[in-house]
């Protein structure tokens, strides 16, 4: 498919957003003025490796031990070669035996903290599945069932994380309780509404019921990514949603297309996290792909409208794709390849239709996770978009 400069512009805006919430950069900045002394670092989540690398760049000589628990493929080059670093790969979005092993290792790490060490916790989205110590009476099969039912049923992330915390021996403030009142620092990259540490990672580092000595700071959120889109898109007219989107991906798509079509801004951006209720035998895709294909149906034939929908962690659902960029010809291209948009949406098989249309977006792991971004563009073909930098994302 011929490269459209408007698509390159959307990729540039996404790259600006990801840079603003990059776990390595944000952690390094957050630790510039942190207390001195020996540090033991535990990083958990999809952005754990990036955050740990940022910590080493800021405070390397002070760091004695580093435990990183992350998703397969979400490591950072150079991290494994640093002294005292232990990296565990685990399962996402449904826990497996590795998640339980990682949970046991995290408990051992906390219990072995020397008296003179300052604990530093780095937590990002994905921690809910990657690390777990189940409550008494809960089995791995029970945990897997809870996660699969929540994901397939379209539970929002806040509700699903509350369910997970209720059956855990380390979440919901229980891990922090093991630290008693010893001082420490917990930094969070938030992918949840309200940016509440009691919800991020199912409350892996939530405050203990009786209080604890941890200082908690959220260092990256979706609003930071949206602000970067606003700044990067100038001098085009830009509108950024004041509230995060939630709920069914189809409804979010309708809202975004409606606002893009009726609004005067050339660029509009939204952040949040939608859900998709999966039918039996669901096909390939994720919530951002489902949202994008729904939008493609709504803007079919519109020559001046494009929309990007992507997960900021670089993986949309159980796929290696971040999302998609769609335009007024997406539905027709998919149909010409034998994929009816309505049927693909009904079967939650958006990924195959988008692939056939040439519209899938692949970033690879991004080193962050602040939820999902939707960026809409209202610009006629041939209109002069602003300059753009080199893209780190690509179309498939």
Tens of pLDDT along 237-291? 999 999 999 999 999 999 999 999 999 999 999 999 999 999 998 999 999 999 9
Q: What is the pLDDT of residues 295-333, one digit of tens each?
A: 999 999 999 999 999 999 999 988 999 999 999 999 999
Which of 126-144 are b and which e, b meaning 16 or more Cβ less than 10 Å from the residue's Cβ?
bbbbbbbbbbeebeeeebb
Q: Where among 158, 186, 220 does a domain terminate?
A: 220
Task: State the pLDDT at residue 387.
Answer: 45
* Rounded Cα distance, 101 and 214, in Å: 25
Provide the sign of the torsion angle of the four alpha carbons 206, 191, 259, 278, taken in this order.
negative
Return the SS3 of 372. Answer: strand
Q: Where among 163, 197, 220 does a domain terminate?
A: 220
The answer to whether 77 and 85 are in contact (CB under 8 A) is no
Task: State the pLDDT at residue 385.
Answer: 61
Same domain, 300 and 274: yes
pLDDT over 70 (residue 11)? yes
CATH number of domain containing 91: 3.40.50.10180
Token look-up 């753009």 returns: 388
Non-local CB neighbours of 93 within 8 Å, separated by 6+ positions: 126, 129, 147, 151, 317, 318
Task: State the pLDDT at residue 148.
Answer: 86
Which of these ranges, 192-201, 220-229, 308-317, has the smallest mean pLDDT?
192-201
Same domain, 193 and 233: no
Determine the average pLDDT of the residues in 183-193.
Answer: 95
Same domain, 130 and 205: yes
Return the SS3 of 378. Answer: strand
Task: State the pLDDT at residue 384.
Answer: 61
Count CA within 13 A, CB hemisphere, residue 38: 9
Same domain, 211 and 273: no
For the residues of 9-65, what is the DSSP string, one character each?
Answer: HHHHHHHHHHHHT-HHHHHHHHTTT---S-EEEEEESTTHHHHHHHHHHHHGGGEEE
Domain hosting 333: range is 5-18+223-395
Same domain, 237 and 332: yes
Residue 233's region, left for phi above 0, alpha for psi from -120 to 50, else beta, is alpha
Task: State the pLDDT at residue 35.
Answer: 67
Same domain, 391 and 271: yes
Same domain, 75 and 123: yes
pLDDT over 70 (residue 395)? no
Same domain, 34 and 182: yes
Which of 266-284 are b and which e, b meaning 16 or more Cβ less than 10 Å from the residue's Cβ?
bbbbbbbbbbbebeeeebb
Determine the average pLDDT of the residues in 115-136.
Answer: 93
Strand 63-71 to 85-90 pairing: parallel
Task: State the pLDDT at residue 319.
Answer: 93
Which of 34-65 are b and which e, b meaning 16 or more Cβ less than 10 Å from the residue's Cβ?
beeeebbbbbbbbbbbbbbbbbbebbeebbeb
Same domain, 212 and 344: no
Average pLDDT of every residue of the chain: 92
Same domain, 267 and 204: no
Task: State the pLDDT at residue 1.
Answer: 43
Same domain, 203 and 306: no
Q: Where among 182, 205, 220 does a domain terminate?
A: 220
Determine the average pLDDT of the residues in 161-176.
Answer: 88
CATH number of domain containing 285: 3.40.1480.10
Return the SS3 of 234. Answer: coil
Give pTM, 2 decimals.
0.92
Our count of domains for the chain comes to 2
Same domain, 348 and 253: yes
Q: What is the pLDDT of residues 47-80, one digit of tens each?
A: 999 999 999 999 999 999 999 999 999 998 889 9
Task: State the pLDDT at residue 156.
Answer: 72
* Rounded Cα distance, 198 and 202, in Å: 7
């Amino acid at each position: 498919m011929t490269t459209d400069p408007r698509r390159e512009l959307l990729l540039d805006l996404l790259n600006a957003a990801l840079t603003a919430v990059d776990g390595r950069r944000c952690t390094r900045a957050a630790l510039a003025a942190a207390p001195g002394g020996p540090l033991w670092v535990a990083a958990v989540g999809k952005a754990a490796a990036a955050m740990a690398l940022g910590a080493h760049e800021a405070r390397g000589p002070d760091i004695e031990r580093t435990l990183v628990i992350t998703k397969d493929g979400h490591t950072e080059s150079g991290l494994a070669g640093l002294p005292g670093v232990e990296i565990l790969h685990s399962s996402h979005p449904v826990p497996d035996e590795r998640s339980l092993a990682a949970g046991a290792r995290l408990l051992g790490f906390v219990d072995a903290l020397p008296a003179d060490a300052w604990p530093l916790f780095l937590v990002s989205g994905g921690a809910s599945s990657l690390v777990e110590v189940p409550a008494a009476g809960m089995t791995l099969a029970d945990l897997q069932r809870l996660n699969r039912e929540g994901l397939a049923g379209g539970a929002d992330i806040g509700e699903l994380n509350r369910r997970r915390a209720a059956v855990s021996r380390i979440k919901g403030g229980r891990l922090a309780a093991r630290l008693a009142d010893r001082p420490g620092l917990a930094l969070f990259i938030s992918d949840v509404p309200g940016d509440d540490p009691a919800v991020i990672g199912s409350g892996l580092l939530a405050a203990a019921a009786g209080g604890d000595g941890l200082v908690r700071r959220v260092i990256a959120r979706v609003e930071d990514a949206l602000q970067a889109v606003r700044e990067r898109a100038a001098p085009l007219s830009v509108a950024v949603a004041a509230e995060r989107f939630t709920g069914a991906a189809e409804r979010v798509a309708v809202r975004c297309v409606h606002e893009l079509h009726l609004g005067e801004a050339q660029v509009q951006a939204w952040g949040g996290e939608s859900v998709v209720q999966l039918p039996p035998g669901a096909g390939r895709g994720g919530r951002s792909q489902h949202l994008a294909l729904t939008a493609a149906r709504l803007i079919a034939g519109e020559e001046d409208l494009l929309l990007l929908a992507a997960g900021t962690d670089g993986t949309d659902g159980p796929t290696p794709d971040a999302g998609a960029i769609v335009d007024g010809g997406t539905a027709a291209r998919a149909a010409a390849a034998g994929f009816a948009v309505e049927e693909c949406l009904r079967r939650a098989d958006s990924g195959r239709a988008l692939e056939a249309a040439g519209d899938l977006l692949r970033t690879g792991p991004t080193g962050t996770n602040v939820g999902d971004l939707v960026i809409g563009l209202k610009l006629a073909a041939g209109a002069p978009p602003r300059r753009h930098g080199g893209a780190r994302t690509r179309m498939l």
